[in-house]
Amino acid sequence: MDVLAELGTDVAFGLPGVHNLPIWEAVAGSGIRLIGVRHEQTAGYAADGYARATGRLGVAVVTTGPGAANTLGAVGEAMASASPVLVLATDIPSALRRPGTVRGVLHETSDQAAMFAPVTKAAITVKSPADLAPAVARAARIAREPQSGPVYVGIPTDFLRAGTERRPESEVTERFTAVDLDQLDYALALLAGAERPVIWAGGGAVRAEAGPVVGELAEKLTAPVITTFAGRGLLPPGHPCLAPTPVHAPEVGALWDEADVVLGVGSDFDGLMTQNWRMPRPPKLIAVNVDAKDAAKNYQPDVTLVGDARDVVAQLVGGLVARPGLGELTARLRRIEDTVRRRMRAEEPQAADFLGTLEETLPEGAVVVADMCVAGYWAGGYHRVSAPRRFAYPMGWGTLGFGFPASLGAAAAGGGRVVCVSGDGGFLYGCGDLATLAQESLPVTVIIVDDGGYGMLRFDQDRAGVPHRGVDLHTPNFVGLARSFGVHADEVKGFGRAFRRLLGEFVRAEEPNVLVVRAALKPPVNTSPRWYRTP
Ligand SMILES: Cc1ncc(C[n+]2csc(CCOP(=O)(O)OP(=O)(O)O)c2C)c(N)n1
Ligand SMILES: [Mg+2]
C-alpha cells in the first residue's frame, strides 16, 4: 500500500475475501481509500475508469480464484486500451500448495497467474514475504511504463501476515533514450516534401500528453489531425486542424486517401479504426511509437521514431518551417463537419438531439464514459470531446458492461461530474453497483437508453434478414431499480425537451442520479456493419 500511495494512487477498488482481509487492514493507514464494490468486474473496470480519467495507476484488490477470475473481462479491456491497471489478487496459502495438483483448498486454481497471461503485460506471483513489496513496485512500474497496461500480482495469502522488512523505493523510470537522429532527419525530409500530409493520432499521444505539440506541428504543416477513438480529446474541439470525427466518415476517410505522407503518433492502426485495414497504406508512413514492433504490425512504416510522443513531435516541430494554407485547411474541415453533422441529423435525428443536448448541458471538465451501446457508438464517433481524458470508451476490446462501473472509477478520482452512457443490456451487467454509487455518493449521472434489448444485435439480425432471436428482452423498471438503492432516478421518452430539462438538472446535482430514456437508435457509420469501405 505504501508503494501504491507513493505513486499517487489515492483510490483503489475491491471486494474482500478471507484471503485478502489483511489488505483491508493495511489500507487503513496508507492514505489510500479502498472503495468496496459488489462484483470484481466492477473493481477492474472502476480501476480502469480511474486510470483513464487521471493517468494514474488504477488498482483492483480481489480475492483468490473466482474473485480474481471475475476481473478478467475488465483486465482484457484495460489491455486492449493500454490502461495502467494493477490487479492485486491473493492466492491460496503457499504452505498448502502442491505444484501440479489441485488439492481442493478453498478458491484453488492450478495456475491463477496463467489465467491472466493473455490479458496482461505481466502476471507476477509473489515468491516470499520479502518479495511482496518489491513485486508490487515492479508490477506498478511495468503497468505504468509505456506502453502502459494491466499487470496481475498474485500474493499467497500467508505472505500477507508474515510482515516485510523494508519499504522499497517505488521504481518509476522514464526509459527512453534520445530518438535516432538519422531517422528524425529522414522523417523531417518526408514531411518537408509532403504535399498533402496528414497526422493520425492515437491513445499513445494522449498518454504522452502530446496534444499541444501535435497541434503545433499540424498548424506548421497545415495537416489535418485525425484522431482514433482512444485519441479523442487530444486537440480541443476548436483547433484549426482537427478533423471533426474519426475516419469512418467518408469525408474524413478521403483526407487519409489523399495523403502522400501520414505521420502516425501513438497508434497501432487497429482493425476498428482502419475498417480492418481496408484503408490503403499511405504512399509514405512515418510512425512515432514507444514500441517499433507495435508501430509496424499493421502498416509497415517507412520510418519509425521510437520514443516519447511529446518529445519526438516537439523535435519535429523544431525541425520544420511553417507553410501557408492554414485558412483553407480549416475551411475544408469546417465544411466536412457541416456535411457530417447534416447527414447525422438526416439519418438519425435522435442521435443529433442526444449529442446536442449532451454538449449543451455537460459541465466544464465533465468526463463522458460510454458503453458498447448504440448511443455510446454515437458518442464515440461524434461527441466533441473537450480535452484529453474526458472521454472513455471500451474500444479497446469492445467490452459490453464497461460503462457504468468505469464511470464509478472516473468519478472516484474527484474531478467532478461523470456522465455514463449505457444501454439497458450493458447496465444490467453491473447494476448491483448502484449500491456502490449510493454508498459513496459519487457524482455520476447514468443515462440508460432503454430499447428493450440488444439493439446493436437487433440491427445485425434485421440487416441479415433473419428473425429476432435473443435480442428482444425483458427489462426491469430501471427507475424503480435505482430508487430501491436510494439513487435518484427519472424516466423520459426520447431525446426531446423533457430529456434536455432533466439532464440539465441531473448533471448539476450534487448526488448521483439515473436518467432512463426510452428510445431506439439506428447505429452510426463507425460501427462495423455500417463501414463504408467494403472488402
Ligand atoms: C462482454 C460482451 N458481451 C457481448 C457483446 C456483444 N454486444 C455488443 S453490443 C451488445 C448489445 C448491448 O445492448 P445494450 O446495452 O442494451 O445496448 P444497445 O445495443 O441496445 O444500444 C452486445 C450483446 C460485447 N460487445 N461484449
Ligand atoms: Mg438496449
**Domain boundaries, given as residue ranges, for the chain:** 2-161, 181-332, 348-525
Residue range 181-332 in CATH 3.40.50.1220 = yes
Give the separation between CA 156 and CA 127, rounded to whole angstroms: 8
Give the separation between CA 368 and CA 499, rounded to whole angstroms: 17
What pLDDT does 25 receive?
Answer: 93
Q: 197 phi and psi, to 5 degrees?
A: -75, 150
Query: Which CATH architecture does the domain made up of 348-525 adopt?
Result: 3-Layer(aba) Sandwich (3.40)
Other C-beta atoms lying within 10 Å of the C-beta of residue 71:
29
Q: Residues 134, 162: contact at Cβ < 8 Å?
A: no
User: What own/partner pairs with CB < 8 Å and gap ≥ 24 does 291-299 have?
Assistant: 291/146, 291/147, 294/147, 294/268, 295/264, 295/268, 297/268, 298/268, 298/269, 298/270, 298/274, 299/269
Strands (E), 141-228: 151-156, 197-201, 225-227
The reply to whether ligand 1 has any atom less than 6 angstroms from the CB of 424 is yes
Tell the residue nearest (CA) to atom 4 of ligand 1. Answer: 400
The one-character DSSP state at 280 is: P
Tell the residue nearest (CA) to atom 3 of ligand 1. Answer: 400
The atom of ligand 1 lying closest to the CA of 376 is 21
What's at 52, amino acid-wise?
A: R
Asked, colleague to colleague, whether 2-161 and 348-525 share their fold, the answer is yes
Give the separation between CA 135 and CA 4, rounded to whole angstroms: 12
How does pLDDT run along the chain (535 residues), one tens digit per residue? 988 998 889 999 999 999 999 999 999 888 999 999 999 999 999 999 999 999 999 999 999 999 999 999 999 999 999 999 999 999 999 999 999 899 999 999 999 999 999 999 999 999 999 999 999 999 999 999 999 999 999 999 999 998 766 555 555 555 667 899 999 999 999 999 999 999 999 999 999 999 999 999 999 999 999 999 999 999 999 999 999 999 999 999 999 999 999 999 999 999 999 999 999 999 999 999 999 999 999 999 999 999 999 999 999 999 999 999 999 999 999 999 999 999 999 999 999 999 999 999 999 999 999 999 999 999 999 999 999 999 999 998 999 999 999 999 999 999 999 999 999 999 999 999 999 999 999 999 999 999 999 999 999 999 999 999 999 999 999 999 999 999 999 999 999 999 999 999 999 999 999 999 999 999 999 999 999 999 8
The atom of ligand 1 lying closest to the CA of 428 is 15
Residue labelled with grid coordinates 481496408 = 278
What pLDDT does 24 receive?
Answer: 94
**Which set of grid coordinates corresponds to residue 455?**
439493439
What pLDDT does 175 receive?
Answer: 62
Candidates 244, 297, 305, 304; CA nearest to 274 is: 297
Query: Which CATH architecture does the domain made up of 2-161 adopt?
Result: 3-Layer(aba) Sandwich (3.40)
What's at 426, amino acid-wise?
A: G
The residues with which 450 forms a beta bridge, in sequence order, are 518
Q: Which ligand is nearest to the CA of 451?
A: 2
Residue labelled with grid coordinates 474527484 = 414
Tell the residue nearest (CA) to atom 20 of ligand 1. Answer: 455
Q: Residues 234, 251: contact at Cβ < 8 Å?
A: no
Element (H, E) at 304: strand 303-306
What pLDDT does 163 receive?
Answer: 74
Give the separation between CA 77 and CA 119, rounded to whole angstroms: 8
The atom of ligand 1 lying closest to the CA of 399 is 26
Candidates 355, 350, 457, 475; CA nearest to 398 is: 457
Q: 444 phi and psi, to 5 degrees?
A: -115, 135
Q: Where are the alpha helices (DSSP H) in 348-464?
A: 349-361, 374-382, 403-412, 424-429, 434-440, 455-464
Give the separation between CA 402 and CA 44, rounded to whole angstroms: 9
What's at 353, amino acid-wise?
A: D
Give the separation between CA 263 and CA 269, rounded to whole angstroms: 12
What's at 531, amino acid-wise?
A: W
The residues with which 421 forms a beta bridge, in sequence order, are 370, 447
Tell the residue nearest (CA) to atom 12 of ligand 1. Answer: 454
The one-character DSSP state at 453 is: B
- Pairing relationship of beta strands 418-423 and 391-392 according to DSSP bridges: unpaired
What pLDDT does 417 receive?
Answer: 98
The reply to whether ligand 1 has any atom less than 6 angstroms from the CB of 454 is yes
CA of 476 to the centre of ligand 2 (A): 12
CA of 487 to the centre of ligand 2 (A): 21
Give the separation between CA 399 and CA 75, rounded to whole angstroms: 10
Residue labelled with grid coordinates 494554407 = 325
Other C-beta atoms lying within 10 Å of the C-beta of residue 313:
29
Q: Residues 397, 243: contact at Cβ < 8 Å?
A: no
The atom of ligand 1 lying closest to the CA of 426 is 15
CA of 378 to the centre of ligand 2 (A): 14
**Most informative mutation of 456, 460, 495, 527 for ligand 1 (most atoms within 8 A of CB):** 456
